[in-house]
């Protein structure tokens, strides 16, 4: 099984009324839930770990996840409110306003012993859950239990408007990166974390500390990856008519993990030995899935039948 641990929320995505006025439409989101949904839709056995409310929006989240074949028996349900995120597209990039005080996601508690990690091949972490102290602490405890047997995937998916103490946040992201076998981040995330440092220079540092695979996604400029054995590999982004970019990075992450799983390269030692051809195929598939996600509004990753010609 593959699992994603982190945020589950409702995005209010931009749309327009029949009269042309700005409006918003609720859509299930949350970076880590999106990754779980993306993996499950492609056909991997997938579970989600995190806090989901029992309120109206929480029921929307649970129904959406279940319809995408994500197992929710590892999730924690509570009567705390659902996190809400309002999205606005500025110069092609998604900008968020979060309403996240005392929510089900923010108050998630890891139940030690509740996850049979010997059956879990990979655990994905990241995003808003790691911004607050409690979410970071609970995720840290989960990783401590998972890491002996499961590959750790990490996407910081930075949300600067939630960060109150940037130096502390940067230190925390470095700590989680140090525990990860696979790190994926967008070029925007990279700029927030590392400024103008060259990608290759930072990739060498991350590979040197034990990470097997580092991937930077660059929107319509495609993705570039570094692997100690397979070297540096770059893939192009497909040309698509973009509705919005919400969930594109999550779809890329989900498809990359799925592709590694299908190739028998998701386990830690197997990932270290991946060939350049295998890695290029996985990255190209991930780029195709992200491209398709961009053609429809909201975080709506593809199903396996939509990508059957690509895998």
Q: How many CB atoms lie within 10 A of CB 247?
A: 29
The structure tokens listed for 120 are 């879990």
Task: Tell me, rounded to whole angstroms, the distance of Cα 188 from its chain centroid.
Answer: 15
Q: What are phi and psi of 31, to 5 degrees?
A: -55, -50
Average pLDDT rounded to a whole number, residues 147-152: 98
Looking at per-residue confidence, does 16 or 169 come out higher? 169
Position 175 pLDDT exceeds 90: yes
Instruction: Report the mean per-residue pLDDT for the chain.
Output: 94
The alpha-helical segments, DSSP class H, found in 130-244 are 133-146, 166-178, 187-194, 199-208
- Predicted confidence at residue 15, as pLDDT, reads 85
- The pLDDT of residue 36 is 98
Geometric angle at alpha carbon 289, from 28 and 34, rounded to 5°: 25
Tracing tokens 């295998």 back to the chain, one arrives at 278
Summarised one tens digit per residue, pLDDT across range 115-143 is 999 999 999 999 999 999 999 999 999 99
Q: Which residues of 186-222 are buried (b: 16+ CB within 10 A; e: fewer)?
A: bebbbebbbeeeebeebbeebbeeebbbbbbbebeeb
* pLDDT for residue 308 is more than 70: yes
Q: How confident is the model at residue 93 (pLDDT cuts 50, 70, 90)?
A: confident
Say whether pLDDT at 205 is over 70.
Answer: yes
Categorize the per-residue pLDDT at 204 as very low, low, confident or very high, splitting at 50, 70 and 90. Answer: very high
Beta strands in the chain (DSSP E): 2-5, 9-16, 22-29, 46-49, 51-53, 70-71, 76-78, 83-90, 93-99, 122-126, 151-155, 182-186, 213-217, 223-227, 231-235
Tell me the mean pLDDT in the region 89-99.
Answer: 79
pLDDT, mean of residues 173-202: 98
CB atoms within 10 A of CB 239: 8
Contact assessment for residue 300 and residue 278, using Cβ atoms and an 8 Å cutoff: no
**pLDDT attached to residue 124:** 98
Return left, alpha or beta for 297; rule: phi > 0 is left, psi -120 to 50 is alpha, else beta: beta
pTM given for the model: 0.94
Phi, psi of 158 (to 5 degrees): -60, 140
Strand locations in 32-181 (E): 46-49, 51-53, 70-71, 76-78, 83-90, 93-99, 122-126, 151-155
Q: In this model, does residue 310 exceed pLDDT 90?
A: no
Both ends of the chain: CA-CA distance in Å? 20
Q: Which of 15-24, 103-112, 227-236 is predicted with the least confidence, judged by mean pLDDT?
A: 15-24
């Amino acid at each position: 099984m593959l699992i994603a641990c982190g945020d589950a929320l409702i995005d209010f995505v931009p749309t327009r009324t029949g009269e042309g006025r700005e409006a918003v439409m609720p859509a299930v989101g949350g970076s880590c839930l999106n990754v779980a949904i993306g993996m499950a839709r492609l056909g991997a056995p997938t579970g989600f770990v995190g806090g989901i409310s029992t309120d109206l929006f929480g029921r929307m989240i649970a129904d959406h996840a279940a319809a995408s074949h994500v197992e929710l028996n590892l999730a924690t349900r509570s009567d705390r409110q659902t996190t809400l995120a309002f999205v606005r597209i500025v110069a092609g990039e998604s900008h968020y306003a979060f309403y996240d005080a005392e929510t089900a996601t923010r108050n998630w508690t890891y139940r030690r012993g509740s996850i049979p990690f010997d059956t879990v091949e990979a655990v994905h972490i990241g995003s808003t859950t790691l911004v607050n102290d409690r979410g970071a602490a609970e995720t840290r405890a989960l990783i401590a239990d998972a890491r002996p047997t499961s590959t750790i995937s990490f996407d910081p998916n930075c949300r600067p408007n939630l960060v109150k103490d940037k130096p502390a946040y940067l230190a925390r992201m470095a700590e989680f990166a140090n525990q990860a076998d696979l790190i994926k981040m967008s070029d925007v995330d990279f700029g927030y974390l590392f400024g103008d440092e060259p990608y290759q220079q930072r990739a060498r540092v991350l590979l040197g500390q034990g990470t097997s695979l580092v991937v930077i996604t660059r929107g319509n400029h495609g993705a570039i990856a570094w692997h100690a054995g397979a070297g540096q590999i770059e893939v192009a982004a497909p040309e698509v008519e973009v509705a919005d970019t919400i969930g594109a990075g999550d779809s890329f992450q989900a498809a990359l993990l799925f592709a590694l799983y299908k190739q028998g390269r998701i386990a830690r030692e197997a990932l270290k030995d991946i060939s350049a051809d295998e890695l290029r195929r996985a990255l190209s598939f991930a780029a195709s899935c992200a491209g398709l996600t961009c053609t429809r509004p909201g975080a709506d990753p593809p199903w396996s039948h939509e990508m059957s010609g690509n895998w």
